[in-house]
A and B are shown apart, each in its own frame.
Chain A
Amino acid sequence: MTRYLFGQVFSLVLTLWVVLTLVFLAVRALPGDAATIMGGIDSSAASIAEMRQALGLAATLGEQYIGFLGDLVKGDMGDSIRERRPVSAVLLDRVPVTLTLAAMAFVISLVFGLGLGLLAGLRPGGFFDKLTTGFATVALSLPEFWFGFILILVFAVQLGWFPVLGLPPTGLSLRSSWHLLLPAVTLAIPRAAQLARLGRARVLEERSSDYVRTARSKGLSAGSVGRHIASNALPGVVPLLALELGGLLTGTIVVEQVFGLPGLGATLLGGISARDYPVVQGVTILAVAIYVGVNWLADVTQLVADPRLRAPT
């Protein structure tokens, strides 16, 4: 198992390097650069060249690449061109909103998704099964931001329980975190649907296995049979959970836009339109690192949770 994990870490590093290179190249392939954008259409070629020099964009691609990788190894993601301060400081400002949002969405989708999935699977054809199937069908055939519209219309406009837009001027705090509830539910809807679907399928699979029949025939209560089923069915959900958790960070891009939240998504979009290379690189690297890291953790979790997978192959 140790060797397997080391192999995983090695291929992880290799993948990350290819990803970093792709990100570096992609960002520089954006049409125009920060100097042309900041200069505007009226500026002369000379003043743009001067600005490019000042912004450090005049170096060759190779020099920039070596500088980029070198700084990154030292944990330095460069300075934001637009905000003129380290990218890490920019990210640190924006991460709390996105992370809180993602965490809330994750908990909501976990509780509702797995709960519905288990209830549906334990009683095929019953009320919860129909509810789950219907919910999943609708939730997965619309873009998540559309549910945001509906939530705003119902809970912010009609009922007036939540603000229509964003955070209060004081920013994110314990008291204002409930402002994030509608966006978090929006993000959670399609993810809960996927979890519910998979959870249901896994439970149905386990229900028809021999050990469940044995447990039933020796007279175990429905509750303890359910517990047996759950503990066998749940490890199979972990990879999807990881994909979902990693995907939450990009899901927030659109949802932040709908609710006007100052998070990582807004930073990324702003960075792209201003050709702020270091910021786009920083957000992307952070998102990919979390995505890859979470998926790797999921592999490990699955090995821990399901002893059958540990057998040498």
Chain B
Amino acid sequence: MTRTRVGLVLFAAMVLATIFAGPLGRYDPLKPDYTARYAPVSAAHPLGTDGLGRDVFARSLAGGRVSLVVALSATALTMLLGCSLGVLAAGVGGATDTVLARFFDALLAFPGFLLILLAVAVLGGGSAQTVMAMGIAGSPLYFRLARSFARSELRSEYVTAARALGASHSRQMLRHAVPNFAGSLLVQGASTAAAFLLVEASLSYLGLGVPLPTPSWGNVLQDARSFLTRQPWAAVGPGLFLAAASLSFQFISDGLREHLDRRG
């Protein structure tokens, strides 16, 4: 339980810091200041400034807000897409099930990152497009999980009992079966969120994710690469923020899993 608590505290701290950095911060993360280009690390600029004189600390926090929103919305989308179709396939069966399963199998044949990259390219960069691309590319996993959970729950005795009592198809599924495996999917969801944070960073690093000038952890790091030898902290700092956020998701996921195991 302590792991979950550490995760939640870390996550809350990241959220609060990224939210209040804007109104309370001393520097505008977007406004260039040509008198302060490549300022060294100091009390005024904890991580120095970049080639346009923007405070890297302020940009890291502002970027964190974008990255967290992108990763969390993509996780929500991918779970919604995969789980609802998985439950549908398991519930309806027949041709619908076969077609859906075949389609998601084909998506699984792509190495994950390649699929996301192609999807982003097709949708044409942007934050919303990045969310959609990750949402699509992540869904096969949830489709498979939800489908197999739903199929095995539907065969269990309590669902048979509900059927015998005259519960409708959708009631058997949604009121009886789904609540029994929703927890396991949530555990997976927290670790997907951690993975999506890294994916967003990689995409934006390639210039295909969140477009400039909006900062995100990925494109702040991309920027930092071009003056890496000059301002090493501009690359190290945002990385540490990113690590803290993805660690917090992993801890929450681990904690939830332990909790479910103990109960189960």
Interface residues of A (CB under 8 A from B): 14-16, 18-19, 22-23, 26-27, 29-31, 137-138, 140-146, 149-150, 152-153, 157, 164, 246-247, 249-251, 253-254, 257-258, 268-269, 272, 280, 284, 287-288, 291-292
- The interface residues of chain B lying within 8 Å CB-to-CB of A152 are 228
Interface residues of B (CB under 8 A from A): 102-103, 105-107, 109-114, 117-119, 121-122, 124, 194, 198, 201-202, 205-206, 218, 221, 224-225, 228-229, 232, 235-236, 239, 242-243, 246-247, 250
Tell me if B's interface is mostly helix, strand, loop or mixed. Answer: helix
Given the interface pairs A164-B229, A247-B113, the reply to whether A149 lies near B239 with Cβ below 8 Å is: yes
Least distance between A196 CB and chain B CB atoms (Å): 15
- The interface residues of chain A lying within 8 Å CB-to-CB of B232 are 153, 157
CA distance A144 to B243 in the complex (A): 11
Question: Are A18 and B206 neighbours in the complex by a CB distance under 8 Å?
Answer: no
Question: Are A257 and B206 neighbours in the complex by a CB distance under 8 Å?
Answer: yes
Question: Are B239 and A146 neighbours in the complex by a CB distance under 8 Å?
Answer: yes
Question: Are B205 and A149 neighbours in the complex by a CB distance under 8 Å?
Answer: no
Question: Are A18 and B106 neighbours in the complex by a CB distance under 8 Å?
Answer: yes
Least distance between B57 CB and chain A CB atoms (Å): 17
CA distance A253 to B111 in the complex (A): 12
- The interface residues of chain B lying within 8 Å CB-to-CB of A250 are 111-114, 117
Given the interface pairs A149-B228, A254-B205, the reply to whether A143 lies near B242 with Cβ below 8 Å is: yes
Identify the closest chain A residue to B201 (Cβ). A143
- The interface residues of chain A lying within 8 Å CB-to-CB of B218 are 143
Looking at the complex, which one of A140, A150, A257 makes contact with B250 (CB distance below 8 Å)? A140
Kindly count the residue-residue contacts between A and B in the assembled complex, taking CB atoms under 8 Å apart: 112
- The interface residues of chain B lying within 8 Å CB-to-CB of A287 are 111, 114
Between A and B, 16 residue pairs with Cβ closer than 8 Å are: A26-B122, A137-B247, A140-B250, A141-B243, A141-B246, A142-B242, A142-B243, A143-B242, A144-B202, A146-B221, A149-B224, A152-B228, A157-B232, A268-B117, A284-B118, A288-B111
- The interface residues of chain A lying within 8 Å CB-to-CB of B117 are 250, 253, 268, 272
- The interface residues of chain A lying within 8 Å CB-to-CB of B239 are 142, 146, 149
- The interface residues of chain A lying within 8 Å CB-to-CB of B228 are 149, 152-153, 157
CA distance A164 to B225 in the complex (A): 11
- The interface residues of chain A lying within 8 Å CB-to-CB of B103 are 18
Question: Are A15 and B105 neighbours in the complex by a CB distance under 8 Å?
Answer: yes
Question: Are B206 and A269 neighbours in the complex by a CB distance under 8 Å?
Answer: yes
CA distance A201 to B236 in the complex (A): 31
